[in-house]
Chain A
Amino acid sequence: GAVVSQHPSRVICKSGTSVKIECRSLDFQATTMFWYRQFPKQSLMLMATSNEGSKATYEQGVEKDKFLINHASLTLSTLTVTSAHPEDSSFYICSAPYIQGNTIYFGEGSWLTVV
């Protein structure tokens, strides 16, 4: 069935390095995917909309040069956190609309810890 898979589920990286998180739609195509960030005890905050074959659109206050998004195929979007800092440590979650089911699926989320 339709599922959204994220990888890695947990990652620890050193400050100043870059980290890539993948979001895949399984058994369905998604021309649009969404990236959220969630800090502890806070709600999900929409970061950006990933558009297949075109540039991502970022929400106000989100640095596009720091959070690089690539949606190279109809089933894969990637989020790269560049020059990561400890304050980027968070839970990153992607979602993809499943049009046929009139619903939106979320990935399992990726815990990023920057040390």
Chain B
Amino acid sequence: QKEVEQNSGPLSVPEGAIASLNCTYSDRGSQSFFWYRQYSGKSPELIMSIYSNGDKEDGRFTAQLNKASQYVSLLIRDSQPSDSATYLCAVPLSGGYNKLIFGAGTRLAVHP
């Protein structure tokens, strides 16, 4: 079983809709979770981090964490064409807070 799993997509949503991106992880001891956005040919940029169960909102982005289900998601409200990118879920390896393991990424396409 992969440590971090994501649906590779592509996920296609119309402009203005809500995009929902999902991620599951295998290590029950994981305490922190990160969502990165990566445009083609560019380095990842941090969108959200979440550490506690529940929701965390930042602008149009909401991260949701359920540790019991080992599930973390990212919602993007009012999706824009500029949100079209690959979204990477990342979880630190046990014992290594900063040693991130990435999922395969979900490609999001927002069409006008």
Contact = CB atoms under 8 A, between A and B. Distances in A.
B98 A97 contact: yes
Q: At the interface, is chain A mostly helix, strand, loop or mixed? A: strand
Interface stretch (B42-50, B61-69, B77-85): B42-50
A97 B98 CA distance: 6
B97 to A, nearest CB: 7
Nearest to A106: B43
A43 B102 contact: yes
Interface size band for A? 20 to 34
Interface string B81-112: 00000001000000011111111110000000
A42 B104 contact: yes
Interface string A28-51: 000010101000001111100100
21 contacts: A32-B98, A34-B98, A36-B102, A42-B104, A43-B103, A45-B102, A46-B100, A46-B101, A49-B96, A49-B99, A91-B41, A93-B44, A103-B49, A104-B34, A104-B46, A104-B100, A106-B44, A106-B45, A107-B43, A109-B42, A111-B41
